[in-house]
């Protein structure tokens, strides 16, 4: 019988760090369109964003399912991880801002018609969080069939908010109308001895909402610093469009609750 160490790394030559992480394939995905020095940074940052988006989708799907199963401790644990990842997303903007507008302009023209507006995973995150927008699917014609199918699925499936309403009902808190939801939230807030788990979950959802809002705000100021009021790549209106999204809230009921406490 082989010792356990024979299955790892150089001892067994079966699975190495590089082969497990598929590093040769991963590090071959940064294909530059120009010889501009900062294009590698631009590509790397956005590919890392997409990897984090993939992880976030993995976590919020599991958190949603945990809420439907009334496993609130697990949902809160997963949402805490979501918060930490979202903090990283915000901090990553600072790395991108080490690129000057002049350096960006050296390769920006080569990006058209690509645009961050086209990030399907980001839209999936918005949809599953509660901000479904079928107009995006209709507006963007560059979607592949797989991407369109993924977004359609997100439009049809329950959101985190749907799962939270199910939690309220499971804990005998009415959640049929907006007024009932508001009353149930106030009940949970004022009786944390009885509804502490529900309250903590509501706070975890609010933090997710707050972090998403923080990322949008940080993103738009970065874009304004980089290109001012220029039209964005891909035909978007750039900072003007991004500013129009700053007031987006996934869970307005949780924000309104603050006025009633």
- State the CATH number of the domain containing residue 190: 1.20.58.480
How far apart, in Å, are the Cα atoms of 8 and each of 3, 11, 177?
A: 10, 6, 56
Q: 89 pLDDT exceeds 80?
A: yes
- For helices 120-129 and 192-227, give the axis angle rounded to 10 degrees: 150
Has residue 9 been placed in a domain? Answer: no
Number of domains into which the chain is organized = 1
Has residue 15 been placed in a domain? Answer: no
- Phi and psi of 90, rounded to 5°? -65, -45
Q: Are 188 and 195 in contact (CB under 8 A)?
A: yes
For the stretch 151-191, pLDDT in tens is 999 999 999 999 999 999 999 999 999 999 999 999 999 99
Binding-site entries:
42-46, 108, 219, 233
Q: 2 pLDDT exceeds 80?
A: no
Binding-site entries for heme:
219
The more confident residue out of 237 and 14 is 14
Binding-site entries for substrate:
42-46, 108, 233
Has residue 107 been placed in a domain? Answer: yes
Has residue 16 been placed in a domain? Answer: no
Name which of 156, 128, 162 is nearest 58 in CA terms. Answer: 128
Domain of 176 in residue numbering reads as 36-258
Residue with tokens 């970065």: 222
The more confident residue out of 106 and 140 is 106
Has residue 136 been placed in a domain? Answer: yes
Has residue 40 been placed in a domain? Answer: yes
Has residue 221 been placed in a domain? Answer: yes
Rounded Cα gap, residues 228 and 178, in angstroms: 40
Structure tokens at 83: 């918060």
For the stretch 215-251, pLDDT in tens is 999 988 888 888 776 665 544 555 677 777 778 999 9
Has residue 28 been placed in a domain? Answer: no
């Amino acid at each position: 019988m082989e010792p356990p160490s024979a299955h790892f790394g150089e001892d067994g030559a079966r699975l190495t760090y590089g082969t497990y992480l598929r590093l040769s394939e991963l590090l071959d995905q940064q294909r530059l369109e120009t010889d501009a020095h900062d294009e590698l940074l631009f590509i790397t940052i956005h590919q890392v964003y997409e990897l984090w988006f993939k992880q976030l989708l993995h976590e919020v799907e599991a958190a949603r399912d945990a809420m439907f199963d009334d496993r609130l401790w697990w949902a809160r644990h997963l949402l805490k991880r979501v918060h930490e990842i979202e903090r990283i997303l915000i901090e990553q903007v600072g790395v991108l801002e080490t690129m000057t507008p002049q350096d960006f302009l050296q390769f920006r023209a080569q990006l058209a018609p690509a645009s961050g507006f086209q990030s399907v995973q980001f839209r999936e995150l918005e949809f599953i969080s509660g901000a479904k927008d079928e107009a995006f699917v209709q507006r963007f014609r560059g979607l592949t069939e797989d991407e369109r199918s993924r977004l359609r699925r997100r439009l049809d499936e329950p959101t985190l908010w749907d799962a939270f309403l199910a939690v309220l009902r499971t804990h005998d808190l009415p959640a049929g109308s907006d007024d009932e939801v508001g009353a149930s939230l106030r009940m949970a807030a004022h009786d944390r001895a009885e509804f502490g788990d529900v309250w903590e979950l509501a706070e975890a959802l609010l933090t997710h909402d707050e972090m998403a809002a923080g990322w949008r705000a940080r993103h738009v100021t970065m874009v304004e610093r980089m290109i001012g009021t220029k039209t964005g790549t891909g035909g978007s209106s750039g900072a003007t469009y991004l500013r129009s999204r700053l007031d987006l809230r996934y869970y307005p009921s949780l924000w309104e609750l603050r006025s009633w406490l």
